[in-house]
A and B are shown apart, each in its own frame.
Chain A
């Protein structure tokens, strides 16, 4: 899984694209499973693994937080 799109990976299948999509679904604090249920219908997110890596990416850039078992968009 690549972070950035390139010749063989379109944007929406890159971690950046997936991350953006996941973020869209995270409009309120939600558990991982709940978020996953919402998101997994989208084809671009091919697997739970991709989903988790995208969360890792979003966390890394500080876009999401993980408090008391709930994911949420960063307030900062």
Chain B
């Protein structure tokens, strides 16, 4: 229960609250409707201050840490779990709170500075969790668990987001956070919600493994285990083959030169052979000339001479004997020529044959070297290929390992999830009574407001808990808000009979937005009755111009419960007493 809210600044309008029903009333004058709505009277600010004192996260230049509020300290006096605590937090130094009151046994948690007992905000939150909700985590704490700050945000809802569903206090609230905290509030097995989230984390990790195993694979390769293993086997035999080839490879340092020389020799041999072929043909020609060219008989010369003597006697210049001698010489010279040519050519051919033979032998030797050795370049290439294959094999091995881990992990996760859900369902069954009681209370609240039955639906699905509230009355304006009200009152009631307990519920005027006057009146009266009977503190902030004064029961005087009246008639009428 919150006893009072104060500040170090004199303009602040301190509030004192009682147990049971409390109202903070905001009077809007006619002029204010034309003013900027940001300059509120302080209803929202009050909620902010309460959160601030009770360990809310802060951001510079936002909320209460704006420049205009520099130097402001806010103090909350509260009673919880039989202990009085006075906490002060400063806008100048929001990382710590100072604590006073029944703090004798808390010395270990903080340190004394300048005569004050200071606590780090995180430690303050832990302490509050223990004191107000009995939150005690084993060491080491599970990864996902209810937190004071989240639970408290249901007790004191803040911001428009908090009024859309009973189970959500923030727009981006994570699923596990919702499940864990609501389950805790409803006295259900919150541990399983956290464990389910841990399983989800595991699944994400496994999916990443599978992605890694599949990413960057060559086109056409399917990333299945069977496919990869087949590829690996193929690579293995290929690698072995290449390894053997490398082992038996002999590099010759002058391989290129030798290859070049062998090629040149081939060319030379070819040329020599061609030349010999041409010369052979020539020799044949000469030989056949020697045989076939029938030299005319020396006697024929006589015949010619005689003809000339008859046909052109005055032309004759030589005697017959001279002509015959001429003839003999011609013929003899001709034959001699042919024979010497033949001889000469045959000699040339023989020399070429010799050269051919020498070249062929030399080339044979070179070829032998070439066949049994390899060039350094070739060896290097082979080696590179080999290393590439080995690298590919390693890559495949990694992928296979990842896939195996994925498959293994996935089965494990499935099993774990099944077991977890079983445990959750069993536990759920065992808490049937608690659930029944909650439903009863909720139903009773809804009957009061709408004369219609209401239901609280809690289920276990594969994703964990699912929550819903129903009120069997449709079409009524603002029924959504009233669902939240009924739910919150139910939670407050159920916890009021427990120890420890927050013993507190605060509603901002937002909860009554768009609600029928009749329901609003019923709701306020219900809250008053429940808080008095149940022994918890209820605070609501209302606008005076939306009070359902006509619809209150006779004898219900709201003014009795007003602890503070805020007005915008003057600057001092707001909560902070200043305009900022």
Contacts and interface: CB of A to CB of B under 8 A. Distances in A.
Interface of A: 1-4, 15, 31-33, 36, 47-50, 52-53, 55-57, 59-62, 66, 69
A20 to B, nearest CB: 13
A32 B300 CA distance: 19
B337 A33 contact: yes
Nearest to A71: B330
Contact of A56 (B294, B312, B327, B334): B327
A57 B296 contact: no
B333 A48 contact: no
A33 B334 contact: yes
B329 interface: yes
Contact of A60 (B305, B329, B333, B334): B305
Given A49-B296, A61-B312, A32 B330 contact: yes
A53 B296 contact: yes
Nearest to B324: A56
Interface stretch (B78-86, B195-203, B315-323, B391-399): B315-323
A49 B301 CA distance: 11
A48 B315 contact: no
A62 B316 CA distance: 7
A4 B311 contact: yes
B304 A61 contact: no
A61 B337 contact: no
Given A33-B334, A66-B326, A61 B315 contact: yes
B333 A61 contact: no
Given A47-B294, A48-B294, A3 B337 contact: no
A33 B338 contact: yes
B293 interface: yes
A60 B337 contact: no
B103 interface: no
B337 A31 contact: yes
B331 interface: yes
Contacts of B304: 1, 3, 15, 53, 56-57, 60
B295 interface: yes
Interface SS of chain B: helix
B307 interface: yes
Nearest to B307: A3
Q: Which of B304, B312, B338 has the most CB of A within 10 A?
A: B304
A60 B294 contact: no
6 contacts: A32-B330, A56-B327, A56-B330, A57-B304, A59-B326, A69-B333
- What is the size category of the interface that chain B forms with chain A? 20 to 34
A32 B333 contact: yes
A36 B289 CA distance: 12
Nearest to A57: B304
B460 interface: no
B415 interface: no
Given A32-B337, A52-B295, A59 B331 contact: no
B308 interface: yes
B570 to A, nearest CB: 140
Given A15-B304, A56-B326, A47 B318 contact: no
Nearest to B323: A60
B318 A60 contact: yes
A38 B333 CA distance: 17
Quick one: which of B300, B326, B333, B334 has the most chain A CB within 10 A? Answer: B326
Nearest to B320: A60
Contacts of A56: 301, 304-305, 323, 326-327, 330
Nearest to B306: A3
Interface string B156-179: 000000000000000000000000
A2 B306 CA distance: 11
Contacts of B317: 60-62
B309 to A, nearest CB: 9
A61 B316 contact: yes
B394 to A, nearest CB: 79
